[in-house]
Amino acid sequence: MSTIIPAKGVFINNRWQPSSSGKTIAMIAPATGKVFGEIARGTAADIDAAVAAARHAFEKGAWGKLTATERGRLLTNFGRVIEKHAEELALLEATDTGKPMKQARADVTAVSRYFEYYGGAADKVHGDTIPFLNGYLVNTLYEPVGVTAHIIPWNYPGQMFGRSVAAALAMGNATVVKPAEEACQVPMRLAELCAEAGFPEGAVNVVPGLGEEAGAALSSHRGVDFISFTGSPEVGTLIQIAAAKNHIGCTLELGGKSPQIVFGDADLAAAVQSVAGAIVQNAGQTCSAGSRVLVERRIWDRFLTDLSQRFSQIRAGTPAMDLDLGPVISAGQKGRIGAMLARAETAGARILARGQIAAGAPGTGYYVTPTIYHEVDPASELAREEVFGPILAAMPFDSEEEAIRLANGTDFGLVAGVWSGDCSRAIRVARKVRAGQLFVNGYGAGGGIELPFGGMKKSGHGREKGFEALYEFGAMKTLIIKHD
């Protein structure tokens, strides 16, 4: 993109309006390190206006009056609108995040699927009839909570908007989105397209801005009824404190250090492909990235030889080069990864294999060479903390018990994969690993619109995706009717 994308303002009541700050934030393309646009720096006053618009839409506006079927139809149709704009959205996403075009296209397809899925679900959420005392009829009802806040990260701006906002809208909530300041072009464009597609005023509001400013104002706003947050554990703590102060609920999805456990009797060729793919996807900047591989010692040499061979073919480049991965999001993130790897090497971790940065990738971009480390001490930072880059830590194990202990040996618990030809063992191990999603003989970093997703332990709580997310964005009422 040659011209600079100008700041549009804040999107409230289906219109772009100037931010009360009058200030902007420069947007940098990670693939080149160059400024490609600006966004408005939303303020607490902008958040006030957005929450008021959402409240009005929910309580008095056209949005709150729609039936579940009408809402569903709007959402489903919006899925088609996204498909029509797929190439434009993919290009924006790729410029904003640096990811390869094929991945940006797949992301846009997923956004469309979220709207299609939740469109179909909107009129299928219903309660129960509960047997009670004679002379009573008792029903449970699911109702929207009201105004939902969506604080989303930069790794999958489009997908995060889809997964969180589509589910909240399907339940009938009015939404306020604070996308990440590092990458937010697609959420802003999607809000515009929502208006064009016929969503009534105030249903979808987007306030770009800084986390500690617009984000903090949104999470602590007394007019918000529920917060959906995806991001770092540190900010997740702040969000939970803010939610607690207003006595509202929140879902927190806070990342992971997800293991893939490979037993000697597994289909090793399939495991090699999957283990490599699960850490380089999105340059490792996926909450559910498979960032640890635990390998049974009797196949350690063979497996790591094959994995190294696969890794050596992996290449990072610009979105247009469309290779295996792009850069990481920012200079800051690249520096943080570099510092962490320097500490790991000092602590004894050794490089086993590396991919490459393609020759044509600009030196000013934020490329990180995909790397596998071995001899990683299970107690070390590299084995326990999220790198959020294309860095894999390989560790051997001797027994099923040791594999489970290592898998559970971090504070996180988001996703895990178990590879084994022994079905009973795979299930037994999967059930003992503490994680919100468990794959057997496969791994889907980030995949599965239909599949409930969320963490245990420091990975957070609550579930997004699938039908389960609808209940998070709904309030259950119990209606007790006495009759003769």
Q: Where do contacts with ligand ADP occur on this chain (CB under 6 A)?
A: 151-153, 178, 180-181, 211-212, 215-216, 219, 231-232, 235, 238
Q: Identify which of residues 183 and 293 has a Cβ nearer to ligand ADP in the complex.
A: 183
Q: Find, among 232, 433, 258, the residue nearest to 333 by Cα.
A: 232
- Catalytic residue chosen out of the listed positions 116, 181, 287, 296: 287
* Side chain identity, residue 434: R
Main-chain phi, psi angles of 74, to 5 degrees: -60, -45
Nearest distance, CB of residue 213 and ligand ADP, angstroms: 8
**Closest residue to bound ligand ADP by CB:** 211
Q: Given the complex with ligand ADP, which of 215 and 474 has the nearer CB atom?
A: 215
Residue 3: CB atoms within 10 Å: 7
184 is catalytic: no
| In 281-398, alpha helices (H) | 300-312, 331-346, 381-384
Integer Cα distance of 357 and 367 in angstroms: 7
| Nearer CB in complex with ligand ADP: 244/423 | 244
Q: From the CB of 70, what's the least distance to ligand ADP, in Å?
A: 31
* Nearest distance in Å: CB 291, ligand ADP: 15
The catalytically annotated residue of 181, 201, 253, 386 is: 253
Which helix (H) or strand (E) is 471 found in, with range? helix 468-472
Distance CA 378, CA 405 (A): 10
Give the span between the Cα atoms of 154 and 463, in whole angstroms.
20
Q: Which is nearer to ligand ADP, 160 or 323 (CB)?
A: 160
- Taking the complex as a whole, how short is the minimal distance between the CB of residue 219 and ligand ADP, in angstroms? 5
**How far apart are alpha carbons 298 and 295 in whole angstroms?**
8
Residue (181 or 324) nearer to ligand ADP, CB = 181
DSSP β-ladder status, 460-461 and 249-253: antiparallel
Within 10 angstroms of residue 297's Cβ, the number of other Cβ atoms is 12
CA separation for the pair 253, 426 (Å, rounded): 26
Active-site residue flag, 287: yes
- Reduced to 3 states (helix: H, G, I; strand: E, B; else coil), residue 155 is coil
One-letter amino acid for residue 117 of the chain = Y
CB 182 to ligand ADP: min, Å:
7
List the catalytic residues: 253, 287
